[in-house]
Amino acid sequence: MDKVMIIGCGAYMDSGYGCPGEWRCLKAASLGEGNFASPSQVVGFLKCECPGRPLIANLGMAIKLSEIKPDLIYLSSCLANAKPGCPYSSPEEMAELIQSKTGIEVKLGTHDYH
Ligand code: SF4
């Protein structure tokens, strides 16, 4: 079973629209639905915070302190499919940066529930 970390858009999460951390990402991961090829173990759930600068450091700290290197990192659907999009970086840029800093593959999006 893959061990995964999920990163949500904090600006969206804090707006109380009923997105990440509630159930969608977690359900998709546990059942292997949406963008998860098979049931996966969520070993970390991080919140990006505008303008996103501490994200890589926070991610590195989560990996170090949890002593678990995830097999995959997911940008949540609310982050990867945001409309209007993040004003600071595109999901593709964010994924590339995370991948280059951690060496871990990054997937864009988690679930397709409404
Ligand atoms: S920097 Fe972008 S992805 Fe991160 S919290 Fe702000 S709007 Fe969301």
Tell me the one-letter amino acid at 81: N
Query: 10-26, pLDDT tens digit by residue?
Result: 998 888 666 656 789 99
Query: 46-63, pLDDT tens digit by residue?
Result: 999 999 999 999 999 999
Quickly count: other Cβ atoms within 10 Å of residue 30's Cβ.
Answer: 14
Answer yes or no: is the C-beta of 8 below 6 A from any ligand 1 atom: no
Report the separation in Å between the CA atom of 52 and the middle of ligand 1, taken as the mean of its atom positions.
6
Q: Does domain 2-81+91-108 have CATH number 1.10.287?
A: no
- Give the ranges where 39-76 is alpha helix by DSSP (H): 55-66
In the chain, % of residues over pLDDT 90? 84
Across the chain, how many H-helices and E-strands are there?
Answer: 5, 4
Report the separation in Å between the CA atom of 9 and the middle of ligand 1, taken as the mean of its atom positions.
5
